[in-house]
Amino acid sequence: MLLVAAAGCLAAAEDEADAGLAAARTATSGVSRGSLNPGKRGLALPASAKVMLIPINDRNSRDGMIDEWQAIYVERRLRRAQNENFELVILEIDTYGGVVQACERINRAIANCRVPVIAYVKLKAFSGGALISLGCRAIVMAPGSRIGGAKAVTPFADVPADMRQKLDSDMRAMVTNLCDANKHPHAIAIGMVNSEAEVLETDDPQGRFLTGDALADMKAKPAVVHTWKRKGEILTLTANEAVNVGLASGQAADNDELFLGLDVTPSETECADITASETAARALGHPLWRVLLVVIALVGLIWELKAPGHGLGYGVFAFCMGIFFWLQIFSDNAGLLEIALFGIGAAIVAVELFILPTFGALGFAGFAMILTSIGFLFEAQVQLELLEQLLAFEFCRRAPLPMWPRPSRWPVWSDRLR
């Protein structure tokens, strides 16, 4: 009985302390319990939630920007959040942007995730970061942060007029779909991706923000009270402006204020940052290292074919190619065809070396299959390099232009290799 009473007193003291901290934060920052109003965005969050934090920044990507490697990194965590029954995912965004396809891939993963995903812009969500924010159910800004500047450009030179029209049309459709799904203001998002669109604020509460073209098409035109963006400009908003236009639900200086504003007391919080195995894969995943692994492996195999019997060359080949394919699978870049060709080729070479010598017939056949599988992997990367460079975002021209892997085909395998 005394233990029960003591436990009750302790719980009451903790509740009182939490209430005191919440009151202190409200007095200093203006954030109060539930002030971010997640219900307005259709979010029904439990009072005690299991929360996963996923950092999206230019440090935990492979190429210093949002790329396919980082898209796989986010996909892997969203799948785990869903499989391990997390109740809220928060993307901590601080990035200059990245590749269009990678941002689209992240947004598809967000849309397919059954766990609610909120964007928390800690410093900047430029370019691709703004697109990912628009793909989330709600956006919360840190004081002093900014969001926008998402016009698609090439890293080489100005885009020809016909290509510019195609890019602007596609980007406009993309952000319109994101705004439809997540109830963000359409005109504001369009102003972030299209320099030719005017963004106007009117006195009509039902259509507060309009593009200049939409206003021109209206018969009964509301009065324009403010011009947020003129033609020839790209819209970027401060934290206060993002809240003012209804893009962001509010501001929070840190995670404690964010949870307070969402009226969530986390039962468990996990920061799903880059792991040691991902760091190793990122370092070894550079094209130079992959080429060296293949060269060393092939030298070992040729040595074994020329002087069979000791097995050392075959061991070097197996070790280097094991690391090579681990990197390919980890990067979602190895398909069934490449793996099957390599496995069958390696088995045939092993038969030639250790079981049934055929004076090179089987060995050379297996060697050709191994080379073909490796060639397929490198060919796909070279083909995608040009395509992805054509659709890089503004702010990313400072980053190197690497070779990006092909679209995801082995998500389950890459999950198991973390």
> Average pLDDT in the 389-395 region?
41
> Average pLDDT in the 143-150 region?
95
Span 109-144, pLDDT tens digits: 999 999 999 999 999 999 999 999 999 999 999 999
> What backbone phi and psi angles, to 5 degrees, belong to 41?
-95, 10
Per-residue tokens: 22:
């919440």
**199-202 β-sheet, strand order:** 209-211, 199-202, 224-229
Q: In the prediction, which pLDDT does 264 show?
A: 93
Residue 373 has pLDDT above 90, yes or no: no
403 pLDDT band, cuts 50/70/90, is very low
User: What mean pLDDT, rounded, does the chain reach?
Assistant: 79
> Average pLDDT in the 56-73 region?
87
Question: Does residue 403 contact residue 382 with C-beta atoms inside 8 Å?
Answer: yes
Residue 15 has pLDDT above 60, yes or no: no
Report CA dihedral (93, 98, 104, 108) to the nearest 10 degrees: -40
Residue 405 has pLDDT above 50, yes or no: no
Question: Which among 41, 113, 55, 56 is positioned nearest to 84, based on CA atoms?
Answer: 113
308 pLDDT band, cuts 50/70/90, is low
Hey, what amino acid is at 83? Answer: N
| Cα-based angle 408, 413, 416 (whole degrees, multiple of 5) | 130
Q: Which residue has the higher pLDDT, 130 or 278?
A: 130
1 pLDDT band, cuts 50/70/90, is very low
356 pLDDT band, cuts 50/70/90, is low
* Percent of the chain's residues with pLDDT above 70: 75
Q: In the prediction, which pLDDT does 19 show?
A: 46
Please identify, in words, the CATH class of the domain defined by 31-174+243-271: alpha beta
> Average pLDDT in the 381-390 region?
46
Least confident of 146-160, 192-206, 376-390: 376-390
> What backbone phi and psi angles, to 5 degrees, belong to 268?
-155, 135
Give a three-class secondary structure readout of the chain. Answer: CHHHHHHHHHHHHHHHHHHHHHHHHHHHHCCCCCCCCHHHHCCCCCCCCEEEEEEEECCCCCCCCECHHHHHHHHHHHHHHHHCCCCEEEEEEEECCEEHHHHHHHHHHHHHCCCCEEEEEEEEEECHHHHHHHCCCEEEECCCCEEECCCECCCCCCCCHHHHHHHHHHHHHHHHHHHHHHCCCHHHHHHHHCCCCCEEEECCHHHCEEEHHHHHHCCCCCCEEEEEECCCCCCEEEHHHHHHCCCCCEECCCHHHHHHHHCCCCCEEEECCCCHHHHHHHHHCCHHHHHHHHHHHHHHHHHHHHCCCCCHHHHHHHHHHHHHHHHHHHCCCCCHHHHHHHHHHHHHHHHHHHHCCCCCHHHHHHHHHHHHHHHHHHHHHHHHHHHHHHCEECCCCCCCCCCCCCCCCCHHHHHHCC
Give dist(CA 167, CA 193) in Å, integer: 10
Give residue limits of the domains in the chain.
Answer: 31-174+243-271, 277-416
Q: Which residue has the higher pLDDT, 415 or 374?
A: 374
Least confident of 114-123, 131-140, 160-169, 235-244: 160-169
Q: In the prediction, which pLDDT does 249 show?
A: 94
> Average pLDDT in the 47-55 region?
94
Residue 314's Cβ-side half-sphere holds a number of Cα atoms within 13 Å equal to 20
Query: pTM of the full predicted structure?
Result: 0.74
Q: How many CB atoms lie within 10 A of CB 280?
A: 14
Residue 210 has pLDDT above 50, yes or no: yes
Per-residue tokens: 393:
């975002």
Q: Which of 5-9, 50-54, 359-363 has the highest mean pLDDT?
A: 50-54
Beta bridge partners of 141: 121, 251
Per-residue tokens: 407:
């679209």
Residue 12 has pLDDT above 80, yes or no: no
